Structure 1
Amino acid sequence: MLVLRSLLFNLVFYVWTMLCCVGLLWMLFIPRRRMIDVLAWYMRTLAWLERTIIGLHYEVRGLEHLPAHGSFLVGAKHQSMWETMKLHLILDDPAIILKRELLWLPIWGWYAAKSQQIPVDRSRRGAALTPLVTGARAVVAQGRPIVIFPQGTRLAPGTYRPYKVGIGLLYQDLGLPIVPMALNSGLFWGRRTLIRHPGTITIEFLPPIPPGLPRDVAMAELEERLEAASERLSLAAGGPPTERPTTPRRIRLRTAAPARGQASA
């Protein structure tokens, strides 16, 4: 039954996505913000398909840790394609840092460019940091949140990879808080499989790391908190612990943020 439901979902998912990509081309000619509203509608239809066909739900914790106004950085774990499809439902018009090659995809790349995400040419390594900062400054001027995956790629639950310098550079240059975003989506929506598992994916926002700290301190705090929280969510759902190098005890920060409640779907 799991395989049949997964096959049915994938068929409906890709056919529906193709129809929407073609049928919504008119969005390229309307104001960007209006297009974002239509994009959120499309994402809601996908969430409905997940619940109806697979029995896959999700819950969001810690929304009270998101700043109520202005830009901020979200340092997010990245385990599957699933979370990229939910960011526009959870955050208000986020700018996601993504690899430049995605803009080359027919039609989908046009939507990504229109929505003003932040592309990065990873092949340029250090040289890619300058356009990253330039693009992020433009987003801050719009008052939008910025989402970055600190490890740079999707990783299966339990897998560790060192954090890259990009988020530390943005933290230092932009003077914004970092809100860590933990999750366990990879247990239900794997990277390299078409099998989709029923259950409830959890996304959890952690207390923000305030601006103004030394970059190394902020990066260490982000890694410790985010890895620990994601491991906790993984273990709670029957997933594996994270195998990572032993690190010294880090400085723990106590922060407060305006309440925004919690949401689930």
Structure 2
Amino acid sequence: MATAIQWVRSLIFMIVIYAWMLILGVLFAPYALLTKRGALHACKTYARTTMWLASWMVGIRCEVRGAVPVDEVVIGAKHQSFLDIIMIFDAIPHGKFIMKRELLWTPVIGMYARRLGCIPVDRGKRGAAVAKMVKDVAKEFTEPGQLVIYPQGTRVAPGVRKPYKIGTAVLYEGLGFPCVPVATNAGVFWPRTGVLRKPGLAIVDFLDPIESGVGRDAFLARLEDAIETRSDALMKEVGFDPDGVH
């Protein structure tokens, strides 16, 4: 019975946040089209209200740990859920994301992604996509900001292992910025598929930066070890055993 009630609450929550996305997107559209500051303000407002709604509608509390970067950096983040996106975006001053090209055609999201300076990537072209990504990012970084990339390339369910892709290392090397690893357990409560949202403490943790100038292989090894070790610890902290997933 309790699960059924939580499922209904989750469904209502999902309807509300997507309706709110549309309403907010339309209301802020003139401001966002006029200036990037308007787009940033709209997206920050959406992130904060969504986390607030999650706290009382489905019982998900959000906590950000670690030193949040404010300078130009690459952020290599664990990606389990839509929730970790909005938590990271709310925490950093000027976030830009490496994103799937298909999202540019999504209503509301596409327009605001363009205005924020997010970088679309065609994931089907591999080497060519990586080269174009580095070129596009270098062109876009005429304004300071924090560039968020997901080293595994997609959302990964808690406890599931997927390889870290070379694109993050190429980007880190090409830009010459430090890289801040980010761990999370958000997918335990807000899964990548399905309706049910579970109550609990969702955490995003900004870890110690990896200095610029580290070789590709060593960089990827350090990044993966930092993110996976800390994400596993955060999941265990809230009672989820990532080692028990097969």
TM norm structure 2: 0.92
Give the equivalent residue in structure 1 for 2:144: 143
Greater relative contact order, per chain length (Cα 8 Å cut-off, separation 6+): 1
CA contact (8 A) 1:160 1:242 kept: no
Q: 1:92: how far off?
A: 1.0
SS at match of 1:159: coil
**Alignment map for 1:21-170 (pairs within 5 Å):** 21-63=25-67, 66=69, 68-69=70-71, 71-170=72-171
Which stretches in structure 2 are left out of the alignment for 5+ residues? Answer: none
Alignment partners' CA distance in 1, 2:139 and 2:88: 20
Alignment partners' CA distance in 2, 1:217 and 1:44: 36
Q: 1:29: how far off?
A: 2.5
Q: 1:6: how far off?
A: 1.0
1:153 aligned partner, one-letter code = T
Alignment partners' CA distance in 1, 2:174 and 2:109: 30
Q: 1:27: how far off?
A: 3.0
Alignment partners' CA distance in 2, 1:202 and 1:85: 12
Q: 1:14: how far off?
A: 2.2
Cα deviation code 1:206-234 (max 9, x no counterpart):
11111111111111111111111111111
Q: Matched residues, percent identical?
A: 38
CA contact (8 A) 2:98 2:149 kept: yes
Q: Is the alpha carbon distance of 1:132 and 1:243 closer, same or farther for their aligned partners in structure 2, counting shifts above 3 Å? A: farther
Q: 1:22: how far off?
A: 2.7
CA contact (8 A) 2:80 2:158 kept: yes
**Alignment map for 1:175-214 (pairs within 5 Å):** 175-214=176-215
Given candidates 20, 31, 38, the residue that maps to 1:16 is: 20
Tell me which protein shows more helix as a share of its residues: 2
Alignment partners' CA distance in 2, 1:30 and 1:16: 21
Aligned-residue Cα RMSD (Å) equals 1.7
1:83 aligned partner, one-letter code = D
Give the equivalent residue in structure 2 for 1:262: none
SS at match of 2:62: strand
How many residues were matched structurally? 241
1:3 aligned partner, one-letter code = W
Alignment partners' CA distance in 2, 1:88 and 1:202: 14
Alignment partners' CA distance in 1, 2:225 and 2:106: 35
CA contact (8 A) 1:74 1:179 kept: yes
Q: Is the alpha carbon distance of 1:163 and 1:242 closer, same or farther for their aligned partners in structure 2, counting shifts above 3 Å? A: farther
Q: Is the alpha carbon distance of 1:242 and 1:160 closer, same or farther for their aligned partners in structure 2, counting shifts above 3 Å? A: farther
